[in-house]
């Protein structure tokens, strides 16, 4: 590794107290990052929590689409002695006088977290990484998206500032006794409604469930899902920070293609994979679901349904089929991500709180958080949702970029 490829920052008396005894190395060169992929995968496999959006596979796919240059991706490595204790990929940007860092994956990643070795102290690792970002790249604030209350990152940083209201991310523990046993845990009202919808859909034509197994098929289904989602957002007058960006569609189509390719038996255990499921009625697409699978968890990323089938609840019928498919391959958790909704709660066994956070590293960073993230952006959001639905729909139609 060349000296220009990485900078070592020893954190001692001049650094943050909780980070003493650690050193941080910031990789800024693509070759240096590639040389550490094996260590990255090993740490992701060993790390606690939900690491789907921090895996080397996910970040590599994201960087190909979202970064104009590979050099925009920085990877912070934190060591205790010669042992890798943590890894944090970030994108650094200059916004006027303020330098911000976001964890890699924005805006498509749904949980920000830090890959931390099981024996490492999360607070020390995060403090050392922040000190390196401040010293070596002048970062004023680190912005974090949907940090889980049970994550290593939440446990690590007591100096964070909330920059949004907490949300709930519902999930279902599928158990080990099969899909029928899980379905039996649902409320009777929900089971009756599911059976009724299944009958109604069957009256319209033969129902078929499938998961994309061919890259071209997966790409076509993804385009359908994105178009249906865009139409729903437009009709509802809603905006999505992920789907405002045109690159989101490109990323998801590429991920769909990759997920539909045959996997090698020796695929890394830390790897994430996109799965595309479809329900057809009489040969026509009724609903589509997109999810990322990592370890034993399926993360529901996007659901969409055809408006002509909306009153028959095709999304719920598809969810039932996806749950069964998950159980058959050993997936134990169906994570529905934030935001919460009545439909998600019908399937959930519990939920976890998530919130956007900021870590100011300078006085300028604290001022930026106060003005932009705690005043201007929340006010703009509130004003937008005070507008009539028709006007919001017109704005959404011009803004959403799927």
Give the tens place of pLDDT for each residue, 40-99: 999 999 998 889 999 999 999 999 999 876 667 999 999 998 899 999 999 999 989 999
Averaged pLDDT, 122-132 = 94
d(CA 22, CA 396): 47
- CA separation for the pair 103, 110 (Å, rounded): 11
Rounded to whole angstroms, how far apart are CA atoms 154 and 129?
15
| Mean predicted confidence (pLDDT) in 249-270 | 76
d(CA 139, CA 198): 54
CA–CA gap between residue 325 and residue 313 (Å, rounded): 19
Q: Are 164 and 328 in contact (CB under 8 A)?
A: no
pTM of the model: 0.90
Question: Which stretches of 122-236 are assigned E, i.e. beta strand?
Answer: 141-148, 161-162, 167-173, 207-211
Tokens read off for 93: 């940007």
pLDDT of residue 270: 56
278 phi and psi angles, rounded to 5 deg: -140, 140
Distance CA 373, CA 118 (A): 33
Mean pLDDT of 121-142: 95
Contacts of 303 (CB under 8 A, 6+ apart): 287, 288, 289, 290, 315, 318, 319
Sort 283 into a burial class: Cβ within 10 Å, 0-12 / 13-18 / 19+: exposed
Of the candidates 357, 182, 17, the one whose C-alpha atom is nearest the C-alpha of residue 190 is: 182
Which residue did the predictor score with more confidence, 261 or 13? 261
Q: How far apart are CA 399 and CA 234, in angstroms?
A: 9
Concatenating the DSSP letter of every residue in 243-306 gives TTSHHHHHHHHHHHHHHTSPPPTT--TT--EEEEEEEEETTEEEEEEEEEEETTEEEEEEEEE-
pLDDT 10s digits, 1-20: 233 334 444 333 333 334 56
Q: Which residues pair with 26 in a beta bridge?
A: 7, 76
User: By three-state DSSP, how is residue 203 classified?
Assistant: helix
């Amino acid at each position: 590794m060349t000296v220009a490829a990485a900078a070592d920052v020893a954190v001692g008396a001049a650094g943050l107290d909780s980070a003493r005894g650690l050193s941080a190395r910031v990789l800024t060169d693509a070759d240096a990052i590639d040389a550490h992929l094996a260590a990255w995968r090993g740490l992701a496999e060993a790390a606690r929590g939900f690491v789907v959006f921090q895996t080397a596979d996910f970040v590599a796919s994201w960087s190909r689409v979202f970064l104009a240059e590979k050099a925009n991706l920085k990877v912070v490595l934190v060591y205790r002695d010669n042992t890798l204790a943590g890894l944090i990929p970030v994108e650094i940007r200059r916004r006027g006088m303020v330098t911000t860092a976001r964890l890699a994956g924005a805006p498509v990643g749904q949980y920000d977290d830090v890959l931390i070795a099981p024996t490492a102290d999360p607070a020390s690792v995060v403090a050392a990484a922040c000190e390196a970002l401040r010293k070596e790249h002048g970062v004023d604030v680190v912005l974090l998206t949907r940090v889980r209350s049970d994550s290593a990152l939440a446990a690590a940083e007591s100096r964070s500032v909330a920059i949004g209201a907490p949300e709930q991310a519902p999930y279902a523990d599928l158990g080990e006794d099969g899909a029928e046993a899980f379905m039996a845990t649902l409320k009777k009202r929900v089971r009756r409604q599911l059976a009724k919808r299944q009958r109604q859909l069957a009256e319209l034509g033969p129902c078929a469930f499938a998961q994309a197994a061919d890259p071209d098929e997966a790409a076509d289904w993804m385009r359908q899902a994105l178009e249906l989602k865009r139409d729903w957002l437009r009709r509802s007058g809603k905006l999505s920070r992920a789907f405002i960006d045109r690159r989101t569609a490109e990323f998801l189509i590429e991920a769909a293609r990759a997920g539909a390719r045959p996997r090698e038996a020796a695929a890394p255990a830390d790897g994430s994979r996109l799965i595309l499921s479809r329900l057809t009625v009489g040969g026509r697409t009724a609903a589509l679901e997109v999810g990322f699978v990592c370890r034993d968890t399926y993360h529901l990323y996007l659901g969409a349904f055809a408006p002509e089938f909306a009153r028959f609840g095709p999304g719920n019928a598809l969810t039932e089929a996806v749950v069964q498919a998950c159980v058959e391959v050993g997936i134990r958790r169906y994570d529905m991500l934030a935001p919460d909704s009545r439909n998600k709660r019908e399937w959930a066994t519990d939920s976890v709180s998530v919130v956007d956070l900021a870590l100011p590293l300078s006085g300028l960073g604290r001022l930026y958080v106060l003005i932009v993230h705690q005043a201007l952006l929340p006010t703009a959001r509130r004003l937008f949702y005070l507008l009539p639905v028709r006007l919001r729909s017109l704005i959404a139609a011009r803004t959403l970029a799927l």
